[in-house]
Chain A
Amino acid sequence: MSGKGIRIEGLRKRYGSGDTAVDALKEVNMVVAPGEVVGLIGPSGSGKSTLLKCLGAVIEPSAGTMILGDETIYDKGWKVKDIRALRRDKIGFVFQAPYLIPFLDVTDNVALPPMLAGVANKEARNSALALLEALDVQHRAKAMPSQLSGGEQQRVAIARGLVNRPPVILADEPTAPLDSERALAVIKILNDMAKKFETAIIVVTHDEKIIPTFKRIYHIRDGVTYEEKGEGRAFDL
């Protein structure tokens, strides 16, 4: 399922029109290769959330191009018919809070996206269990989300984001509620999974303790992205 990462060119987003129009994104250019984890950093109001929503096909950009793997998904308009299926099959999400479905056990939380895509329950659960094992939470497969620690919940959320093998994962401050040790562990997992599944991962963060782990960082300020060449700045996890 993995492809050629994600490429964004000249992406813009304008809210409103006329005198009240606000340009939340003015010029966004990003390239994330398969197996790469990049950071997206910016102050409040810089356009991070808007960019994440555009990348996640939750809101429609106003201009620009988005290419996911080999497929142009946006070019002055959506190029895919079923946005919901695009989100389900091509984009994985990991949130600041894990947002697991409280009434499903760990296995079914992870197995839900493939089930929604029409995969048979047994097959979906097998995929989920394999991922849980890769993330070292297979022993909590039957537990309910409320019975997990914060770190375990975040690993389960990562497994849910990965289960459909999307070419890109958007991680929205995934380490915010975690201490340093657990935060670094989560970033290590994301790096491992990116390499293992050839997935491009964009991590939106304010977290000072994980910023040095990124080999490449995009800064966003006033709706414009700037790439920071961070070769040699990242430390081994």
Chain B
Amino acid sequence: MISLAGRDILHSWGKFVFTGFGLGLLIGVTLIMAGVYRGMVDDAKVLLDNSGADLWVVQKNTLGPYAESSSIYDDEWRGIQSMPGVERTANVTYLTMQVRHGDRDVRSMISGIAAGQPGQPGWPPYLINGRQITRGHYEAVADEATGFKVGDTLKIRRNQYTVVGLTRRMVSSNGDPMVFIPLKDAQEAQFLKDNDAILEQRRRNAQNPEFTQPGAPGLLDALNHSQTNNPYVNSVLVQVKKGYSPKEVAQSIEQWKRLTVYTRQDMEDILIGKMIATSAKQIGMFLAILAVVSAAIVAFIIYTLTLGKIREIAVLKLIGTRNRTIAGMILQQAIALGVIGFVVGKISATFGAPAFPKYVLLEPMDSAAGFVAVVIICILSSIIAIRAALKVDPAEAVGG
């Protein structure tokens, strides 16, 4: 038996291809939306992977350092370093801000990394150009997505930094490219006030009789100094020795240091389950709407195509075509439309994804799931047309 659906598609291929193309763009948008979500998840995982840490020690009862602000003293690492099971520790700060580059701003996450060497927690694990930071001040390593080049100068707060190295895929959980600078500079940048604010603060301190008591002549100076100095970091990153359970080490640090410690799994739960949960729901809603719109389009197209063939269907029935052959023809056409749409959608998503400002990760399994969903949607969408076709009376082919 010949394929009636295939012959009809070949006969009116233009209608199918153009409809499939339109549907394909819709499917492409759907795949991109799924890719945006995957990209967000991947950004979160990349941030954790690239930090090189097994544990994140943060301010007690906070979800820091990425989901909430967290401040702990920058000498806490010493005590943590001496705990059983701790291999290495490193202070780290994170600050999302606009970095001035020439006449434009680049939204970046500034990460302050403690002096040390590559491989230390918090450091960019690899470079694609240039070198790592070797000086204690005013050097930066930037992600290539910032658009900076080695030798460029960028401005953070009042200070100028020279880009000495470039790295790749170092992004925040929001997808903002990272810029690494020395820890001390980052601490200063986090809390540095402008000169007017500092003068105003000193004036207020000087007018406060609490700080100018005759019996404590150095108190005012000490206070002013402490207020212009930042002894805090956002987190201490910890690498655990081989053979130790990160969970047990974390419990030990929490118990003795009275801080909150997160394992890698905890961090993933925070970043994916909390930080991007709303965005994920938003994308889920869009996906659902796009699925419904796609289904409506396929249903409408197939229904219209079927209505256009009522006389032929009546003739087919009159000459003895089984209902299941007619239903199969419509079903195959709906699926063919979906397949054409999926191919167009997949190609457009693959070529279109790099043009999106945020990272779009097209997972093969998502594409496979998308294909299955498209086929299911097409099958469901063809039901209305099949019902219409099965209702056609063969008598319509006979005059009168």
Residues in chain A within 8 A of chain B (CB atoms): 48-50, 52-53, 56, 58-59, 84-85, 87-89, 93, 95-96, 99, 101-104, 108, 112-113, 115-117, 121, 144, 160, 172-173, 204
| B315 contact set on A, CB distance < 8 A | 95, 99, 101
Contact across chains for B398 and A49 when beta carbons are under 8 A apart: yes
Task: Check B8 for interface membership: any CB of A closer than 8 A.
Answer: yes
Q: A48-B400, A56-B398, A121-B1 are in contact. Are A144 and B11 (CB under 8 A)?
A: yes
Task: Check B225 for interface membership: any CB of A closer than 8 A.
Answer: no
| B8 contact set on A, CB distance < 8 A | 103
Contact across chains for B319 and A172 when beta carbons are under 8 A apart: no
| B12 → chain A closest CB, angstroms | 7
Q: A49-B400, A95-B397 are in contact. Are A113 and B320 (CB under 8 A)?
A: yes
In whole angstroms, what is the CA distance A102 to B12 when docked? 10
Contact across chains for B319 and A116 when beta carbons are under 8 A apart: yes
| B170 → chain A closest CB, angstroms | 57
Contact across chains for B322 and A84 when beta carbons are under 8 A apart: yes
| A112 contact set on B, CB distance < 8 A | 2, 319
- Cross-chain contact of B318 among A58, A104, A173 (Cβ < 8 A): A58
| B316 contact set on A, CB distance < 8 A | 101
| B311 contact set on A, CB distance < 8 A | 99
Contact across chains for B2 and A52 when beta carbons are under 8 A apart: no
| B312 contact set on A, CB distance < 8 A | 99, 101-102
Task: Check B102 for interface membership: any CB of A closer than 8 A.
Answer: no
Residue ID in chain A nearest B399 by CB atoms: A172
Task: Check B125 for interface membership: any CB of A closer than 8 A.
Answer: no
How many A-B Cβ pairs are below 8 Å?
Answer: 81
Contact across chains for B398 and A87 when beta carbons are under 8 A apart: no
Q: Is the interface of B mostly helix, strand, loop or mixed?
A: helix
Contact across chains for B2 and A93 when beta carbons are under 8 A apart: no
Apart from A89-B320, A115-B1, A117-B320, 15 more pairs, CB < 8 Å: A52-B399, A53-B398, A58-B394, A88-B319, A88-B320, A95-B315, A101-B315, A102-B11, A103-B7, A103-B11, A108-B2, A108-B7, A112-B319, A121-B1, A172-B399
| B395 contact set on A, CB distance < 8 A | 53, 58-59
Instruction: Mark out the residues of chain B between 46 and 94 whose CB falls within 8 Å of any chain A CB in the assembled complex.
Output: none
Contact across chains for B318 and A56 when beta carbons are under 8 A apart: yes
Residues in chain B within 8 A of chain A (CB atoms): 1-2, 4, 7-8, 10-12, 311-312, 315-322, 325, 393-395, 397-400
| A98 → chain B closest CB, angstroms | 10
- Cross-chain contact of A121 among B2, B320, B399 (Cβ < 8 A): B2
| B320 contact set on A, CB distance < 8 A | 84-85, 87-89, 113, 116-117
In whole angstroms, what is the CA distance A53 to B4 when docked? 26
In whole angstroms, what is the CA distance A222 to B2 when docked? 44
| B398 contact set on A, CB distance < 8 A | 49, 52-53, 56, 58, 93, 95, 172
| A117 contact set on B, CB distance < 8 A | 320
| A115 contact set on B, CB distance < 8 A | 1-2
Residue ID in chain B nearest A163 by CB atoms: B319
| A144 contact set on B, CB distance < 8 A | 11
Residue ID in chain A nearest B400 by CB atoms: A49
| B259 → chain A closest CB, angstroms | 73
5 A-B pairs closest in CB distance: A88-B320, A49-B400, A103-B11, A103-B8, A58-B395
In whole angstroms, what is the CA distance A115 to B322 when docked? 12
In whole angstroms, what is the CA distance A51 to B365 when docked? 60
Question: Can you name 13 A-B pairs with beta carbons within 8 Å?
Answer: A52-B398, A56-B398, A58-B394, A84-B322, A85-B320, A93-B319, A95-B315, A99-B315, A104-B7, A112-B319, A115-B1, A116-B319, A172-B398
| B338 → chain A closest CB, angstroms | 20
| B318 contact set on A, CB distance < 8 A | 56, 58, 87, 93
| A234 → chain B closest CB, angstroms | 24
- Cross-chain contact of A116 among B1, B11, B399 (Cβ < 8 A): B1
In whole angstroms, what is the CA distance A84 to B325 when docked? 13
Residue ID in chain A nearest B320 by CB atoms: A88
In whole angstroms, what is the CA distance A9 to B317 when docked? 27
| A103 contact set on B, CB distance < 8 A | 4, 7-8, 10-12
Interface centre among A58, A59, A160, by most B CB within 10 Å?
A58
In whole angstroms, what is the CA distance A56 to B394 when docked? 10
Contact across chains for A93 and B397 when beta carbons are under 8 A apart: yes
| B200 → chain A closest CB, angstroms | 83
| B2 → chain A closest CB, angstroms | 6
Contact across chains for B7 and A87 when beta carbons are under 8 A apart: no
In whole angstroms, what is the CA distance A137 to B165 when docked? 79
| A49 contact set on B, CB distance < 8 A | 398-400
| A89 contact set on B, CB distance < 8 A | 320
In whole angstroms, what is the CA distance A117 to B1 when docked? 9
In whole angstroms, what is the CA distance A200 to B316 when docked? 22
| A90 → chain B closest CB, angstroms | 10
| A87 contact set on B, CB distance < 8 A | 318-320, 394
| A237 → chain B closest CB, angstroms | 24
| A52 contact set on B, CB distance < 8 A | 398-400
